[in-house]
């Protein structure tokens, strides 16, 4: 039995990750292209679901931002640099999550 080098293991893991991402991208279809009598009903249902998911992601982003602001205020009183950096990361992530649906819409419409 051959021993596989660590470089080859990493290469295989990266290739598997790339394949998983490609499968995820190919299977994610936010807009359904349907034709026939029930196409409008199905499309409107999926569009409503997409709007609900966008609202949930935006809400989570706003909550993360507010949490980060509170955490930053608390870390300012203790003068702890690591806590301040962690709070700034949380604020940035929250802003990104809050704006993610709009950013995605801009990228898709091109």
pTM of the model: 0.58
pLDDT confidence bin for 91, thresholds 50/70/90: very high
CA-to-CA distance for 60 and 109, rounded, in angstroms? 24
User: What pLDDT digit, counting tens, does each position of 15-72 carry?
Assistant: 776 766 666 655 555 555 555 556 666 677 788 888 888 899 999 999 999 999 999 9
Q: Which residues lie closer than 8 Å to 36 by C-beta, 6 or more apart?
A: none
User: What pLDDT digit, counting tens, does each position of 65-87 carry?
Assistant: 999 999 999 888 888 889 899 99
Average pLDDT of the residues of the chain: 79
């Amino acid at each position: 039995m051959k021993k596989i080098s660590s470089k080859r293991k990493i290469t295989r893991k990266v290739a598997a990750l790339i394949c998983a991402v490609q499968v995820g991208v190919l299977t994610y279809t936010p807009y359904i292209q349907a034709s026939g009598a029930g196409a409008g009903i199905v499309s409107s249902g999926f569009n409503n679901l997409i709007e609900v998911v966008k609202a949930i992601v935006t809400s989570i982003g706003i909550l993360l931002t507010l949490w980060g602001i509170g955490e930053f205020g608390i870390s300012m009183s203790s003068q702890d640099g690591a806590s301040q950096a962690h709070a700034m990361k949380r604020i940035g992530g929250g802003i990104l999550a809050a704006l993610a649906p709009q950013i995605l819409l801009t990228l898709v419409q091109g």
